[in-house]
Chain A
Amino acid sequence: MEYNNNSHLPDGAENQKAASRRNFLKNLGLAGVGVATGAAALYSGGIFEAKKEVSGDSKVLLTQDGKLVRVDSLEIKAHEKSGEELSESLCRGGIPGRRWVMVTDLSKCRNARRCIAACQEAHQLRPEQYHLNTLQIQDTPATAPYHIPKNCQHCDNPPCVAVCPVDATYKRPDGIVLIENDRCIGCRFCMAACPYSARIFNWLEPRDAAKYQDKEYNAELNVPQKLGTVSKCLFSADRLREGELPYCVSACPNGVYYFGDENEDSVTNGTTRETVRLSKLLRDNGGYQLMPELGTKPRVYYLPPKNRLFPFENINPETPEKV
């Protein structure tokens, strides 16, 4: 993980840097305990005390409980599993103060499926694996059919998370429902429980498995995908940390997606980069949720396919080969 480039990141990213510092300290503590030289740093409640063998060069660091401590440079060692541990605690904490929300404007979708391509590329998915899929839907025989991009709804009352026996999938404070693929036992209860069919499974060796086998696992990207575990849309949590819009949102050529923070009452369009007020957008355009009667409280809103920008194209979804 590199956070050296401090250029100009939004505050979420600042928080993340703070968290990464805290984690570094935590890992440092673990590493310190491991070094049995007797002169190593003592780790007690997150506070370090510099010992005999000092380099004279010390650094002030922030501990996990928010205290500033001075640590000798000699004691600072990178922890071997830092990436993994960093990833786990960072992931579960989410990005503080945020409540991510997505608005999908159906009147602009022409089923270009550019979002899907970007998503499958980013998450290393096979062609038949979708974190996001556009479906052709006709609500009643008399109403017009439309294309609807359907991803994980990141529900505030997530039925999938409730049934997980091992805390492998969890809800974050910032609203994202994430999966820890190193924890998932592959029971697929979450898939059965999801009314939106948003979850997929790595039935076989994931795409390019050999190529990525040495790559460090990133729970905010679900990459590398892991055999025998569940995967799904994660609102591109890795991108959000960097202040960037999700892969699908920025890939859309037609301005379908808005993404933002409900706490800021704003969403940004992935195509035009125009930022608008969430409450006004939903009010003026009749925003709605998918199957709200199920009480799942989705974090994805839809704007109805009214005054469409493109004529509806009836697509006979040709399916990829048998897998």
Chain B
Amino acid sequence: MEDNKPTFDKILNDLTHHIRINKGFLLWMGFLSVSLLICLYAYSLQLKTGLGVAGIRDYITWGIYLSNFVFFVASSLIGMLISAVLGLIGMKWITPLTRIAETIAVAFAAVAGLVIVSDMGRPERLAYVFIYGRAQSPIFWDVTVITTYFVLSLLLLFLPMIADMAIIHRKSTSLPGWLKPVYKTLSLNFTDSPEQNKIINRCIRILLILVIPAALSIHTVTSWLFAVTSRAGWDSTLFGPYFVSGAFVAGSAAVIIAMFFFRKNYKLQDYLTDLHFSNMGKVLVTVSLVYLYFNINEFLVPGYKLKRADAVHLHELLAGKDALLFWLVQTGGLLIPIILMMFKPFRKPLPIMLISVAVLIAAWIKRYLIVIPTQEHPFLPIQHVPQNFMHYSPTLIETLISIAPFILVLIIITLISKFFPVIPLHETAKEKGIEHIKFD
């Protein structure tokens, strides 16, 4: 092993060579920006005309904007699972994944806040939530915890990066000139002194502990947006853990997909190894099993009693109008992935990435199925209203507006990963046995 010990220069080069503006990056960002502009144009139409440009109406009043919101909050939870939970229990293999997980957390949490604005009838009154906020409203809690979680995740992304930036701006030869001052400022004159390390380690430790309740809160509170109502399908005491476990499934899948593309595009095969993919596969199987368990609870228990409204709801979901989507999600997004990922060959990078894509798409549809069908069957019948009030179908404008957050997330992840090392440099070097790095 000693012979294979990589030199520090190799590690530095491997992890930072992608930090430059190249043609591929410009093309990709250009594509994202143009797409975003188209979506923003759609949003400007909504601002001008009102929420009525979307397919939502008086009975199905929350549509894909809200299921999108739930999806984004869900995906952001993974930062906490990887860094905090796995980190605190001493899993060493997660080191190269922590930054990816935190990047995803920051991107999705930030965008989740924007998604919810697109669902407001009066977005210009956003500040009212702070001016007139009521501590009794789950929306108020949601705003609080999402802001908090975003800040915590941002700090968790930043703190371990201080050492990296200190190293890179001193050592790297390939770092673009214009980035140097940015790195210098952000590295806070870090010199690896014991005192500085003490501060950073203490802060990270506090953050890792704080981020656990914050992350649990954001998705629990998001689930309460539904669970505090009496509607069939939402009226569930299980919604908090059901949402949280579902969030880990979506987030793990997102991390695996990100890992795959970073590894390929930034040539990180030596750092994001097959073992990492396999381990992430095991994590995904574990959280999927937990999620499956909650799913069984969520559908079997009301299905056993078949209370009037529940019966209608469950029938539509399991055997009616939404049955195709429902079973597609439950089998293709949950059962089959669990079974496949139990076998090692399916935990190889490419197959597990493909499985993760399926899981992530299913996760989005699942949120659609949580949000919309319930509203199509209120306690009292929907009568004397136009057909489009009774059945929800998203409009083109609405779809474009819903695509925007995905583009934004991609932009944020691309920017962070492009201009900062994807794999924690300092920690990796230490783990690879390079004890002393000169910081002068």
**Within the complex, are A and B direct neighbours (CB within 8 Å)?**
yes
B residues less than 8 Å from A186 (CB atoms) = 51, 120-122, 125
Which listed segment binds A: B158-166, B225-233, B250-258? B225-233
Structural contact, A185 and B383, CB atoms closer than 8 A? no
B residues less than 8 Å from A229 (CB atoms) = 121-122
A residues less than 8 Å from B125 (CB atoms) = 166, 183-186
Most buried by A among B56, B131, B383: B383
Structural contact, B51 and A185, CB atoms closer than 8 A? no
A133 to B49 Cα, complex, angstroms = 27
Decide if B419 is an interface residue (CB 8 Å cutoff). no
A230 to B170 Cα, complex, angstroms = 58
B residues less than 8 Å from A320 (CB atoms) = 384-386
> B93-129 CB contact bits vs A (8 Å, 1 = yes)?
0000000000000000000000000011110011011
B residues less than 8 Å from A128 (CB atoms) = 384-386, 389
- Contacts A165-B139, A203-B52; is A317 near B120 (CB within 8 Å)? no
B residues less than 8 Å from A162 (CB atoms) = 136-137, 228
Structural contact, A323 and B388, CB atoms closer than 8 A? yes
Query: In the complex, what residue of chain B is closest to A321 when comparing beta carbons?
Result: B386
Structural contact, B121 and A187, CB atoms closer than 8 A? yes
A13 to B134 Cα, complex, angstroms = 31
Interface class of chain A by DSSP: loop
Decide if A212 is an interface residue (CB 8 Å cutoff). no
A residues less than 8 Å from B129 (CB atoms) = 165-166, 185
A298 to B239 Cα, complex, angstroms = 27
Decide if B378 is an interface residue (CB 8 Å cutoff). yes
Query: In the complex, what residue of chain A is closest to B56 when comparing beta carbons?
Result: A203
Decide if A201 is an interface residue (CB 8 Å cutoff). yes
Interface class of chain B by DSSP: loop
Which listed segment binds A: B58-66, B197-205, B422-430? B58-66
How far does the Cβ of A189 sit from chain B's closest Cβ, in whole Å? Answer: 6
Number of interface residues, chain A, beta carbon within 8 A: 50
A39 to B231 Cα, complex, angstroms = 61
A188 to B119 Cα, complex, angstroms = 9
> For chain A residues 159-201, which have a beta carbon within 8 Å of chain B?
159, 162-168, 183-189, 191-193, 195-197, 199-201
Structural contact, A195 and B56, CB atoms closer than 8 A? no
Decide if A58 is an interface residue (CB 8 Å cutoff). no
A residues less than 8 Å from B304 (CB atoms) = none
How far does the Cβ of B141 sit from chain A's closest Cβ, in whole Å? Answer: 9
Contact of B134 among A166, A188, A193 (CB under 8 A): A166
- Contacts A203-B51, A323-B388; is A183 near B132 (CB within 8 Å)? yes
Structural contact, A188 and B61, CB atoms closer than 8 A? yes
How far does the Cβ of B369 sit from chain A's closest Cβ, in whole Å? Answer: 16
Structural contact, B380 and A135, CB atoms closer than 8 A? yes
Number of interface residues, chain B, beta carbon within 8 A: 47
- Contacts A203-B52, A294-B230, A319-B384; is A185 near B57 (CB within 8 Å)? no
Decide if A322 is an interface residue (CB 8 Å cutoff). yes
Contact of A184 among B61, B122, B386 (CB under 8 A): B122
B residues less than 8 Å from A196 (CB atoms) = 379-380
A130 to B139 Cα, complex, angstroms = 26
Decide if B138 is an interface residue (CB 8 Å cutoff). yes
Decide if A271 is an interface residue (CB 8 Å cutoff). no
A150 to B122 Cα, complex, angstroms = 28
> A39-82 CB contact bits vs B (8 Å, 1 = yes)?
00000000000000000000000000000000000000000000
Query: In the complex, what residue of chain B is closest to A161 when comparing beta carbons?
Result: B136
Structural contact, B137 and A201, CB atoms closer than 8 A? no
Decide if A291 is an interface residue (CB 8 Å cutoff). yes
How far does the Cβ of B427 sit from chain A's closest Cβ, in whole Å? Answer: 41
Structural contact, B381 and A319, CB atoms closer than 8 A? no
B residues less than 8 Å from A191 (CB atoms) = 58, 61
Structural contact, A205 and B50, CB atoms closer than 8 A? yes
B residues less than 8 Å from A205 (CB atoms) = 49-50
A128 to B389 Cα, complex, angstroms = 9
Decide if B382 is an interface residue (CB 8 Å cutoff). yes
A residues less than 8 Å from B133 (CB atoms) = 165-166
Structural contact, B385 and A165, CB atoms closer than 8 A? no
Most buried by B among A133, A184, A188, A320: A188
Decide if A136 is an interface residue (CB 8 Å cutoff). yes
> For chain A residues 289-323, which have a beta carbon within 8 Å of chain B?
290-291, 294, 317, 319-323
Decide if B271 is an interface residue (CB 8 Å cutoff). no
> A113-134 CB contact bits vs B (8 Å, 1 = yes)?
0000000000000001110011
- Contacts A166-B132, A186-B51; is A135 near B383 (CB within 8 Å)? yes
A residues less than 8 Å from B51 (CB atoms) = 186, 201, 203, 228
A322 to B391 Cα, complex, angstroms = 12
How far does the Cβ of B131 sit from chain A's closest Cβ, in whole Å? Answer: 8
Structural contact, B122 and A185, CB atoms closer than 8 A? yes
A residues less than 8 Å from B384 (CB atoms) = 128, 130, 133-135, 317, 319-320
Contact of A185 among B121, B230, B385, B387 (CB under 8 A): B121
A residues less than 8 Å from B134 (CB atoms) = 164-167
Structural contact, B139 and A187, CB atoms closer than 8 A? yes
Structural contact, B121 and A159, CB atoms closer than 8 A? no
Decide if A144 is an interface residue (CB 8 Å cutoff). no
Query: In the complex, what residue of chain A is closest to B119 when comparing beta carbons?
Result: A187
Structural contact, B228 and A163, CB atoms closer than 8 A? yes
20 A-B interface contacts by CB (under 8 A): A133-B383, A135-B380, A137-B380, A165-B133, A166-B131, A166-B134, A168-B128, A183-B128, A183-B132, A185-B129, A187-B120, A187-B121, A188-B62, A192-B62, A197-B59, A201-B57, A202-B50, A203-B58, A228-B121, A322-B386
Q: List the 9 closest A-B pairs by CB distance, nearest first.
A: A186-B121, A228-B121, A203-B52, A204-B52, A165-B139, A165-B137, A166-B132, A186-B122, A185-B125
- Contacts from B to A (Cβ < 8 Å): 49-52, 56-59, 61-62, 119-122, 125-126, 128-129, 131-134, 136-140, 143, 225-226, 228-231, 375, 378-389
Q: Give 14 new A-B contacts, CB below 8 A, not counting A133-B384, A189-B139, A228-B122.
A: A129-B58, A135-B380, A163-B138, A163-B139, A167-B134, A187-B119, A191-B61, A193-B228, A197-B382, A201-B61, A201-B121, A227-B50, A228-B121, A319-B386
- Contacts from A to B (Cβ < 8 Å): 128-130, 133-137, 150, 159, 162-168, 183-189, 191-193, 195-197, 199-205, 227-230, 290-291, 294, 317, 319-323
